[in-house]
Amino acid sequence: EAGVAQSPRYKIIEKRQSVAFWCNPISGHATLYWYQQILGQGPKLLIQFQNNGVVDDSQLPKDRFSAERLKGVDSTLKIQPAKLEDSAVYLCASSLSPTGGVTDTQYFGPGTRLTVL
Amino acid sequence: AQSVTQLGSHVSVSEGALVLLRCNYSSSVPPYLFWYVQYPNQGLQLLLKYTTGATLVKGINGFEAEFKKSETSFHLTKPSAHMSDAAEYFCAVSSGGSYIPTFGRGTSLIVHP
């Protein structure tokens, strides 16, 4: 079974530029998550989709971050404009159940490492 | 509110020695507890989780963890370290009906030959 795919793996941009990340979840997985992992910290949830609807985006800085999940499959996360503090690894994860639950294991992609100069 | 504290940002052991990674949690309701491992340039992988029932949980790669409510702890152990165990380990907690985990800062496990 193919895992969660993310691209690009690395991105370097100047502050105030825009950037987009792409995630392809495991086939058939209803729920998709984006996490931000700043160096030296654990991942922090940014947004959660169930199919193509947003369930939780309370931690997403909506003035500069946006995300969408087209047709309940692939997802993109965009930052515009980027700030220095956005330097982090952005992790995408997916899980099978549309209703979630503690037994619904999240499978993580390798992440995109963003450096903002 | 829930939180996780991982004691020690780095733990160094010799190959074959006991691995002990410490995790304490804070939760106002019964927690669900997780350990994840992250190898370099890879995403997180679930090692094990505690939901209900038996407090000693066995996971993959020979790891296990014990839920101790009285100590609010969920320490991760492995009897004998292998070089391939070198990685970043994250403890996480979820509670209150939410299954979205709150992660600790991580502990880097270094294994010496």
**pLDDT cut 70: percent of chain A above it:** 96
Q: How close is the nearest chain A Cα to the Cα of B92, in Å?
A: 9
Closest chain A CA to residue B51 = A102
Contact call for residues A92 and A34 (beta carbons, < 8 A): yes
- Left, alpha or beta for A77 (phi > 0: left; psi -120 to 50: alpha)? beta
Report cis status (omega within 30 of 0) of the bond before A81.
yes
Q: Are B77 and B16 in contact (CB under 8 A)?
A: no
Quick check: helix, strand or coil at residue A70? helix
- Say which residue the tokens 């074959």 belong to: B16
Reported residue count of chain B is 113
| A37 and A111 Cβ atoms separated by less than 8 Å | yes
**Residue B43 and residue A101: Cβ atoms within 8 Å?**
no
A110/B105 Cβ within 8 A: no
pLDDT recorded at residue A62: 93
d(CA B73, CA B33): 10
Q: How far is A18 from chain B (nearest CA, A)?
A: 24
pLDDT of residue B2: 82
Distance CA A96, CA A28 (A): 7
B85-97: average pLDDT:
88
Mean pLDDT of B68-91: 96
